[in-house]
Amino acid sequence: MSTAVIAVPKRRRFRLGAIAPYLQAMPLGLVLAVFLVIPILTIVIVSFWDYDSVQIYPDFLFTNYIDLLTSQVTWKTYLNTIKYAVLVWLFTLVIGFTVAYFVAFHVKSATAQMALFLICTIPFLTSNIIRMISWIPFLGRNGILNQALQGIGVTDQPLEFLLFSDFSVILTFVYLYAQFMVVPIFNSMMRIDRNLIEAARDGGASGFQTLVNVIIPLTKSGILIGTIFVVTLVMGDFITVRLMSGGQSASVGLMIANEISLLQYPAAAANAVVLLIIVLLMVAAMLRVVDIRKEL
């Protein structure tokens, strides 16, 4: 065997084909390495550094983590953020599933489906922040909703909880992110073989049984992708919470943003590391349910 190898040395011809995928993937790899991997490593390193009101100092301290994890405020803020994530997930899931189900199964023509889809997408061309604040004239004390409610005699006082409350924060989240649920669920629904539904019906399944036993299981991957989007977006958000709670509520993202604005970078970094770990654990738990790579 070994003599054969020596006797007939393989001529290694340089082939571009073999390295082509590496060259093609390199720009993506480089961008992600420079602007994602190294920055996150920087955060991890800086989270152990020392700081005062002026500057940050290279060091190796656990103080930032100890301060963070022993504070009541931290735990309350994390719980509050998770509460937002769960509630927003629940609402966007119900809305997203219903809307996608209607367009995928009840609208027959492809053109009409396309048109309805575009209608849902157009509002996303407006800046997120502008879309957020556009709820203010709607929900405010003298807002449209309050005036309408008083007009039809439901209440005689303006409802105060509508704006600058958990209610307005969650409403705005649902408003901003519902489409992130609609699109992936719609996508999975469109890939369901329509014969399966026909077969379920022929087998005597009711509409509800078909929904539970055929459509929902086959839509799982879309639901998962939507869930990952909504949950990670809400977990990291700070601007919606700041603008729509009027400073009444806190979220982890907001906590980090506040630390950044006070130039307490190491504290912000420690907080960011904890947030990252929690988000990654959540996503890892979700990915145990469905393998997205298979679904692409």
Q: Enumerate residues 131-170 that contact another protein by CB under 8 A.
A: 131, 133-138, 140, 142-144, 147
| Shortest distance (Å) from residue 8 CB to another protein | 27
190-200: buried (b, 16+ CB within 10 Å) or exposed (e) per residue?
eebeeeebeeb
Choose between 5 and 23: whose C-beta lies nearer to another protein: 23
Report how far residue 98's alpha carbon sits from residue 57's, in angstroms, rounded to the nearest whole number: 53
Structure tokens at 228: 């990952």
Does residue number 268 form part of the binding site for another protein (CB under 8 A)? yes
Segment lying near another protein (by CB under 8 A), choices 5-13, 66-74, 85-93, 225-233: 225-233
State the number of binding residues for another protein (CB under 8 A). 86
Instruction: Report the residue from 114, 124, 209, 212 that binds another protein according to the rule CB under 8 A.
Output: 124
Q: What share of the chain is helix, strand, coil (3-state, %, to 5)?
A: 75, 0, 25
Instruction: Report the residue from 123, 209, 216, 262 that binds another protein according to the rule CB under 8 A.
Output: 123
Does residue number 192 form part of the binding site for another protein (CB under 8 A)? no
Choose between 126 and 209: whose C-beta lies nearer to another protein: 126
Choose between 178 and 250: whose C-beta lies nearer to another protein: 178
| Shortest distance (Å) from residue 126 CB to another protein | 4
Cα–Cα separations (whole angstroms), residue 159 to 87, 174, 222, 246: 22, 21, 37, 16
Choose between 131 and 220: whose C-beta lies nearer to another protein: 131
Sign of the alpha-carbon dihedral angle for 183, 209, 85, 159 = positive
Choose between 7 and 25: whose C-beta lies nearer to another protein: 25
Report how far residue 37's alpha carbon sits from residue 16's, in angstroms, rounded to the nearest whole number: 29
Residues 40-69 within binding reach of another protein (CB under 8 A):
40, 42-43, 46, 56
Environment class of residue 58 by beta-carbon count within 10 Å: exposed (0-12), middle (13-18) or buried (19+)? exposed
Structure tokens at 187: 């996508």
Residues 58-117 within binding reach of another protein (CB under 8 A):
95, 98-99, 101-103, 106, 108, 116
Choose between 4 and 215: whose C-beta lies nearer to another protein: 215
Does residue number 28 form part of the binding site for another protein (CB under 8 A)? yes
Does residue number 183 form part of the binding site for another protein (CB under 8 A)? no
Contacts of 135 (CB under 8 A, 6+ apart): 163, 168, 171, 172, 175, 244
Structure letter (DSSP) for residue 289 = T
Choose between 9 and 21: whose C-beta lies nearer to another protein: 21
Instruction: Report the residue from 53, 70, 72, 127 that binds another protein according to the rule CB under 8 A.
Output: 127
The torsion region of residue 59 among left (phi > 0), alpha (psi -120 to 50) and beta comes to beta
Residues 273-292 within binding reach of another protein (CB under 8 A):
275-276, 279-280, 283, 292
Does residue number 269 form part of the binding site for another protein (CB under 8 A)? yes
| Shortest distance (Å) from residue 260 CB to another protein | 6
The upper half-sphere exposure of residue 145, i.e. CA atoms within 13 Å in the direction of its Cβ, equals 14
**Contact indicator for 219, 229 with CB cutoff of 8 Å:** no
